[in-house]
Structure 1
Amino acid sequence: MTQVRWWGTGTVALALLVLCSVPPLLDRALGSGGRRLAPGTVVSIGTAQNGVRPVTVTVLRAGWVLSEADTSLTSNAKLLSDDVVFNLSVVVPLSSLDARKLWDGLGRIVAAGGRARLATAPVPVITAHGMTGLTGRIIGRDRAGVAAVFATDTLGATVTAAGPPPAFREAAAEVEAMARTVTVTAP
């Protein structure tokens, strides 16, 4: 009769366990590679003209992280706070632009993701700088959030912020306040 030796299989299993469990633990311990933002930090996106980017948002409290891997300052910024994701994007239209057209287009983009959709009746919102836009809820089975759009004749900005319903409920007032800090300076 032959003797069965399991040490080779055990070593492979142990190596797989280490390879699968250590990287997520290191990621949590070392951070996700994002950059922590201090309260009052202004995040600017869009194509810079004379050293200034045309779309901005202001971070209102500590705890937000700029996801450097998911941000392209010429087009979008992704901010994270726990399980809530705040996206700010620049919209450069091919023809005239208004907030309603922008809302309808954003609705198609959100729905295409398959996890959520925009509520059908947006309401007007006014930023701290006097810009008028539209805002409404993002709804889904496992997502809750808010969206806002702002448009000038030649440039627009969209905000989407969402997360699991309990996490979003905690952050909702802050997220809505951040959305009201958006500025769009048309070229």
Structure 2
Amino acid sequence: MDRKGWPGTLAVAAVLIVLAIGLPMANRGIAAADVPLPAGSRVQVGPLSDDHSRPLSVQVPDGWALNTDATALSESVALYNGSTSFQLSVILAQGATPEQLWHGLGEIEQAGGVVPRLGATMPIKTAQGVPGLAGPITVQDHTAAVAVFAAPSLGADVVVTGPPEEVMGSDISGMLSSIRFDGAGA
């Protein structure tokens, strides 16, 4: 064997070793659950339709990211900004009212062995005109802001946790208002 090819072979072997060791180490340094979203992005959620769209979406302001570990786009999407989280879920409840959806939240928690305390609600609407209710829910000493919306063909619920000043801030109200239901009008 000729020794002239050894430096090239050693260089290739060194590059492969660096890639085999370095890439997994670099990958661990990148949070897999953190996908930053550009301001104004619209994130779709729900079962895929024939045209490959999803029936529910929300628009995100600047600074929000998608938590891929807590997201299953056919059911729910988990977004966060710092210590504030925004979880939007599809409710397959055709013809339900916001009041029925709100009451259903308590029943779901009770079925899981947890007794929630539902706070007073206030009516809200999306910019599209879909009616909903919003209020606090406390489960095992943890309080969250919750909203439910009832479009004719499906519903949605949103659970927001974080510091009170952020949960009640303009980002969250803007996101709630931006929720869109396919086929629900303007």
TM-score, normalization by structure 2: 0.71
**For 1:147-186, what aligned pairs fall within 5 Å after superposition?**
147-163=146-162, 167-173=163-169, 174-186=171-183
Aligned to 2:107: 108
1:84 aligned to 2:80? Answer: no
Please state if 1:145 is matched with 2:158: no
Give structure 1 stretches of 5+ with no counterpart: 1-25
State the percentage of identical aligned residues.
Answer: 30
CA contact (8 A) 2:45 2:54 kept: yes
Moved more, 50-59 or 140-149: 140-149
Aligned-partner SS, 2:33: coil
1:144-163 per-position Cα deviation (integer Å, ceiling 9, x unaligned)? 43111111232111111013
Q: State the superposition RMSD in angstroms.
A: 2.6
- What is the count of residue pairs matched by the alignment? 155
**What does residue 6 of structure 1 align with?**
none
Separation in 2 of the partners of 1:175 and 1:132? 17
Point out the structure with max Rg over C-alpha. Answer: 2
Query: Counterpart of 2:165 in structure 1: which amino acid?
Result: R
**Aligned residues of 1:138 and 1:162 also touching (Cα < 8 A):** no
1:98 equivalent to 2:97? Answer yes
Contact 2:166 2:172 in 1 (8 A): no
Q: Which runs of 4+ in 1 moved over 6 A?
A: none
**d(CA) in 1 for partners of 2:62, 2:127:** 17
Report if the CA contact (8 A) 1:110-1:118 is conserved.
no
CA gap of 1:73–1:113, structure 2 versus 1, over 3 A, is farther
TM-score normalised by length of structure 1: 0.71
- Give the Cα separation in 2 of the matches to 1:158 and 1:152: 11
SS at match of 1:137: strand
Post-superposition offset of 1:53: 0.7
Within a 5 Å distance, the mapping from 1:7-18 to structure 2 comes to none
User: Using a 3 Å threshold, how does the CA distance of structure 1 residues 168 and 176 change in structure 2: closer, same or farther?
Assistant: same
- SS of the residue aligned with 1:105? helix
Partner residue in 2 for 1:14: none
Contact 1:117 1:139 in 2 (8 A): yes
- Taking the TM superposition and a 5 Å limit, the aligned residue runs for 1:16-27 are none
Deviation at 1:129, TM superposition (A): 1.8
DSSP-derived class of the 2:100 partner: helix
**Pair 145,186 (structure 1): closer, same or farther in 2 beyond 3 Å:** same
Matched with 1:60 is 61
- Name the structure 1 match of 2:74: 74
Return the offset for 1:105: 1.1
2-structure distance, mates of 1:48, 1:59? 21
Query: Residues of 1 paired with 2:104 and 2:147: CA distance?
Result: 12
Equivalent position SS for 2:146:
strand
